[in-house]
Chains A and B, each alone.
Chain A
Amino acid sequence: MTALGFDLGRSSLRVSRFEADSPRVCNVAQGCGPRAGQTVEETLLAAAQGFIDGEPGAGVFVSRGSDPVPVRSTFRRVGQTLGLRTSRILSSPAAIAVAHGLRGEVKLLDGLGLVLDLGADHVEVALFRRVGSLLLMEPVLTSTSPCGETFDADVVAARRGATLEDARRARHALTERFETDLSSPSGGAGRLSRDQLETLVKPRLEAFTRQSLSVLERVGIRPRDLNTMLLAGGCAQMPFVRRFLFNAFGRPAVVDETPENTAVLGAALYAEQLKRGGDALLVTERLSQTLSLSMGGAVEEPLLRAGLLLPSIASRIFKTSSDQQAELEIVVTAGPPTRFKVVGLTPLPRGQVLIEVDFLVDLDGLLEIKARELPGGRNLQVIPDPHGEPHAP
């Protein structure tokens, strides 16, 4: 059986596979990001086919803080289409912590730690705490990357003739060299030095660090409370970024040689653990958005608050409001409203049918609704109703 990890960024898709008799993860496909006209689902399916040999086992998808529920539902669907016995979604900070923990560096996860996933388009910061085998994740913030695409845009604005692609290439080149050509064939935009790069990145990095520290301070955490700082993502390759964060947090950064792969490696390692039924690290994340029940109009009743540990469950009892009522409409909001219909109610005068509805958010942050009639507990069918009449605002 195969254990796969998937990390779909905006410009790249990484897939990793746990090799049967070796703890190493290989086959990382790079530069095969979503093509024009291809959906997320098609991209993932096309990439995954080549990695599955024999019976599909487990798959773990890395989710970015900005991934809305529909993207996560897509991950779930892709897992089903691939025939994976188990699929799971981990936030990128969780996947990064897992990568270290399941590679025998579990000591790094002792005490309170911080993960910074410094991607090209956005960064995600989270705290973690390991208690025995439980790995509890605590999101700190998600923001635009201080050192990736914003840097590219800064370069384009400052240098006539340079394109975003030129800037991106130069950014990569400067992780190893001290100076590079900004644009290759056409020329004209001149050369860019590491010093110049640092001057451009520094103010953004300062703002990002200030913001992170202030969020941490609000929850009563000072840098000296942190035992470890894990860095990953493409920007973590930049020596300047590592140095800067070391100075800001006072903690040496733990970084892989290819930090852009750390998250997908963690995903594959976790998939392997799920496949084997192991329990060395059990990731527990939190609900990222409050889930409310829309009561018609603008009235919303919170069901499950952001920050609750997953899985989480809430129950509500509804009463029929008309005679012979056969269906009950439920509108749940976490951002955009999602409609569900409970069907097959016993036809009785209004108020005589009680329906108990459970709202369960699973480990992946996806909602599952179950309903039963009271008394008796007959299970009722719940169907998603995407075409329901929109509520008046």
Chain B
Amino acid sequence: MADDAFAVLGLERRFAQDEAAIVLAHQNRLTRLHPDRVPAQGPAALSPALREAAAVNGALFTLGDPLRRLAYLLSLRGPEMGFDVGPEMGFGMGVDVGFEIGHRVPVSSAARLDRAALDDALSELSGNDCSVERADLCRDLEREIDATVALLGAKLDAAESPQVSSSPSTMRLAFLPALAHLHGLVTLLRGHET
């Protein structure tokens, strides 16, 4: 497998990132590796240039979004997860082992929200008259998700520090259910937004 997404953008491998720095790292590298610079060097140079640029774009996609970044950090510690939060950019790919999503260690209130009840609530508010209430609910939910992702990310960074010695697989097991739940919520939210 190629370099991991953090290495591709020259970033330290951890959840906490300055998001503007991610964008800047992407822009600098894409400017340098842009395949439109290559044609003058002949067709043979094109394919590797495309791959390099694609890896840079993929790294931005994977790391630019906190939830994807979190899922990606976990995917680096073991096999592919049983759901897709978008590591489809050539990173963290593996044979799908059909990971069973358990139901342990909900981390904050967002992870505890009942998805079915939310789905019902959003559907009920889907009429035109309720657009404000619906937008409010979506915004609240989004805020909850962001806060929980940040919390999980901080915990992951803390657990990765050399002072803490938990085995990678134990850590994955602790985080996966909450992450899967968050992913479910995001999917739900996007479904109601469109």
Which residues does A use to contact B, with CB under 8 Å? 58, 85-86, 88, 131-134, 273-277, 279, 282-284, 301-305, 308-317, 319, 354, 358, 360-363
Residues of chain B within 8 A (CB-CB) of A360 are 50-51, 54
Q: Contact at B27–A313, with CB atoms within 8 Å?
A: no
Confirm or deny: B98 has a beta carbon within 8 angstroms of a beta carbon on chain A: no
Q: Contact at A319–B37, with CB atoms within 8 Å?
A: no
B74 CB, min distance to chain A CBs, angstroms: 19
Q: Contact at B88–A302, with CB atoms within 8 Å?
A: yes
Known A-B contacts A132-B31, A134-B27; the reply to A315 vs B57 at CB < 8 A is: no
Q: Contact at A308–B57, with CB atoms within 8 Å?
A: yes
Of B39, B41, B61, which is within 8 A of A58 by CB? B39
- B contacts with A, residue count (CB < 8 A): 28
A115 CB, min distance to chain B CBs, angstroms: 19
11 contacts between A and B (CB under 8 A): A132-B31, A277-B37, A311-B57, A312-B89, A313-B54, A313-B90, A314-B93, A360-B54, A361-B54, A362-B35, A363-B36
Q: Contact at A317–B94, with CB atoms within 8 Å?
A: yes
Q: Contact at A282–B58, with CB atoms within 8 Å?
A: no
CA distance A360 to B52 in the complex (A): 11
CB closest chain-B residue, reference A301? B84
Given contacts A85-B43, A276-B40, A308-B57, 13 further A-B contacts (CB under 8 A): A86-B39, A88-B36, A133-B31, A274-B36, A279-B34, A284-B30, A302-B84, A309-B57, A310-B57, A311-B53, A312-B58, A315-B90, A363-B35
Please report the number of residue pairs spanning A and B whose Cβ atoms sit closer than 8 angstroms. Answer: 90
Q: Contact at B86–A282, with CB atoms within 8 Å?
A: no
CB closest chain-B residue, reference A131? B27
CB closest chain-B residue, reference A274? B39
Q: Contact at B37–A275, with CB atoms within 8 Å?
A: no
> Among B51, B55, B58, which residue has the most Cβ atoms of chain A within 10 A?
B58
CA distance A273 to B61 in the complex (A): 29
Of B41, B61, B95, which is within 8 A of A277 by CB? B41
Residues of chain A within 8 A (CB-CB) of B84 are 301-302
Q: Contact at A284–B34, with CB atoms within 8 Å?
A: yes
Of B51, B88, B93, which is within 8 A of A317 by CB? B93
Confirm or deny: B9 has a beta carbon within 8 angstroms of a beta carbon on chain A: no
CB closest chain-B residue, reference A87? B39
CA distance A154 to B175 in the complex (A): 61
Residues of chain A within 8 A (CB-CB) of B60 are 309
Q: Contact at B36–A282, with CB atoms within 8 Å?
A: yes
A24 CB, min distance to chain B CBs, angstroms: 22
CA distance A362 to B90 in the complex (A): 15
Residues of chain A within 8 A (CB-CB) of B34 are 134, 279, 282, 284
CA distance A340 to B57 in the complex (A): 25
Known A-B contacts A88-B36, A354-B95, A360-B50; the reply to A313 vs B30 at CB < 8 A is: no
A332 CB, min distance to chain B CBs, angstroms: 13
Q: Contact at A314–B61, with CB atoms within 8 Å?
A: no
Residues of chain A within 8 A (CB-CB) of B86 are 305
Q: Contact at A314–B95, with CB atoms within 8 Å?
A: no
CB closest chain-B residue, reference A361? B54
CA distance A308 to B90 in the complex (A): 13
Known A-B contacts A302-B88, A314-B90, A360-B51; the reply to A132 vs B27 at CB < 8 A is: yes
Residues of chain B within 8 A (CB-CB) of A279 are 34, 36-37
Q: Contact at A282–B93, with CB atoms within 8 Å?
A: no
A-B residue pairs, 10 tightest by C-beta: A277-B40, A86-B39, A313-B54, A309-B57, A282-B34, A311-B54, A314-B88, A311-B50, A315-B90, A315-B93
> Among A131, A303, A313, A362, which residue has the most Cβ atoms of chain B within 10 A?
A313
CA distance A361 to B84 in the complex (A): 20
Residues of chain A within 8 A (CB-CB) of B95 are 317, 319, 354
CA distance A360 to B37 in the complex (A): 18
A6 CB, min distance to chain B CBs, angstroms: 17
A219 CB, min distance to chain B CBs, angstroms: 12
Residues of chain B within 8 A (CB-CB) of A310 are 57
Residues of chain B within 8 A (CB-CB) of A363 are 35-36, 50
